[in-house]
Homo-oligomer: A and B are copies of this chain.
Amino acid sequence: MGKKSDAYEAELERLQILLVETQAWTIDEGKKTLIVFEGRDSAGKDGAIKRITEFASPRQTRVVALPKPTEREASQWYFQRYVPHLPSGGETVIFNRSWYNRGGVEPVMGFCTAEQHEQFLRDAPRFEQLLAGGGVTIIKLWLDISKKEQAKRLEERVEDPLKRFKVSSLDAEAQTRWDAYTAARDEMLAETDHKAAPWTVVATDDKKTARLNIIRHILRTIGGPGGRADRPDAEVVFGAAKSRERLFR
Contact = CB atoms under 8 A, between A and B. Distances in A.
B58 A165 contact: yes
Contact of A162 (B20, B119, B136): B20
Given A84-B83, A88-B72, A77 B165 contact: no
Interface in A49-79: 55-59, 65, 67, 70, 72-73, 75-79
Nearest to A91: B75
Contact of A77 (B23, B58, B135): B135
Contact of A83 (B13, B24, B59, B80): B80
Contact of A30 (B75, B79, B87, B161): B75
A210 to B, nearest CB: 20
A123 B119 contact: no
Interface stretch (A2-10, A126-134, A192-200, A241-249): A126-134
What is the oligomeric copy number? 4
A202 B209 CA distance: 39
A103 interface: no
Contacts of A78: 134
Nearest to A24: B164
A17 interface: yes
B89 A72 contact: yes
A104 interface: no
A16 interface: yes
Interface string A155-178: 000000111110000000000000
A198 to B, nearest CB: 19
A31 to B, nearest CB: 10
A107 interface: no
Given A13-B162, A79-B134, A126-B126, 15 more contacts: A16-B162, A17-B162, A20-B162, A20-B164, A23-B165, A32-B76, A32-B77, A55-B162, A55-B165, A75-B89, A75-B90, A76-B86, A77-B86, A77-B130, A80-B84
17 contacts: A17-B162, A32-B76, A55-B163, A55-B165, A57-B165, A58-B65, A58-B165, A72-B89, A75-B89, A76-B88, A76-B134, A77-B86, A79-B83, A79-B130, A83-B84, A123-B133, A126-B130
The 4 closest A-B pairs by CB, nearest first: A75-B89, A77-B134, A57-B165, A83-B83
